[in-house]
Amino acid sequence: MTAETALRLYRTMARIRQFEIGASRLMAAGKLPGTLHVSIGQEAVAAGVCDVLREDDHITTTHRGHGHCLAKGGEPTSMLAELLGRATGYCGGRSGSMHIADPAAGILGANAIVGAGIPIALGGAFAAARKGRGGVAVAFFGEGAVAQGVFHESLNLAALWRLPLVLVCENNLYAELTPVSVHLAAKRVADHAAPYGVPGVRVDGNDVLAVRSAADEAVGRARDGGGPTLLECMTYRWHGHFEGDPQQYREDAEVAEWKAADPLKRLADALPDAASDLAAIDAEAKREIADAVVAAEAEPLAAPGSVTAHVYSAHVYSGGAAR
């Protein structure tokens, strides 16, 4: 791992961390409609996986997807404008936090339905295979989605057709408010890969270098026609399932233990000679997101009359004729 790569990974994680802090503050101030799920503590997964993807590769993500979108090339001002219901947001201010999409950057969309991004990524992998240009699709999802039938259906089909799909499970130990021991019979998500004859890899999801290495192997295998891989990243969200969650389902000591494994700090500790560079990156990320918040708040709110935009086709068919 070169110093350049390590600093790039740190920069991505720092941007995600500052974006999530900024979004959390906006929610606390009553400026965001709807609800908000932040990924503070999980930054290494998004940064490590997306660092090995090409611009023409595709991802799908979840209700906790800001980090993945940023790591894949999402623009923070447009993302914040979307969260704030502004007309200049990625989806015109109509999707909010849980449905951000940017097809031009390879972001096929976040999804509020548990596991619903997996078959969309499967379709992206199918399209990539048909194009024959070495493209790859990645589905990010939580361990709660593993109990959904669509996870198994998609993994089976990807294995059967040897599609270039990488399934990335962010195992943060809780599906909403429910611990993994209650809702999954298998102790390891990665073990679900074996019945389908594909590799299942578990990795320390707070070690961005380990995540990147595992993702590099999985993505390389997919590009070379080797089929899918199931990658389980063990990580932890510092905040509750949603902003305002009282978090009565977990102990303070558990949260403190995982905070001590902060992915940014762990990478910083591995780069003792780069302290000044990392401090500069932190300052740059804070400025960028602070500026993005100001810019997004200055944008106009989505007009009520735009609520039906992009819902219906531009062509209305009547009696066989388009009009």
Domain boundaries, the chain: 3-322
64 within 8 A of 97, measured Cβ to Cβ: no
> In the chain, which residue ranges form alpha helices assigned H by DSSP?
3-28, 43-50, 66-71, 76-83, 117-131, 149-161, 180-183, 208-223, 252-259, 263-269, 275-297
Write the single-letter amino acid at 167. L
pLDDT given for residue 322 in this prediction: 44
Mean pLDDT computed over every residue of the chain: 95
Q: How confident is the model over 228-286, as pLDDT tens digits? A: 999 999 999 999 999 999 999 999 999 999 999 999 999 999 999 999 999 999 999 99
H or E element in which residue 171 lies? strand 165-171
Does the predicted model carry a pTM greater than 0.85? yes
Q: Is the pLDDT of residue 154 over 60?
A: yes
Angle formed by the axes of helices 3-28 and 43-50, nearest 10°: 140
Euclidean distance between CA atoms 263 and 235, whole angstroms: 9
pLDDT band at 100 (very low <50, low <70, confident <90, very high): very high
pLDDT given for residue 310 in this prediction: 76
Catalytic residue positions, numbered? 237, 241, 249
CATH no., domain 3-322: 3.40.50.970
Q: What is the mean pLDDT of residues 303-312?
A: 82
Q: How confident is the model over 12-30, as pLDDT tens digits? A: 999 999 999 999 999 999 9
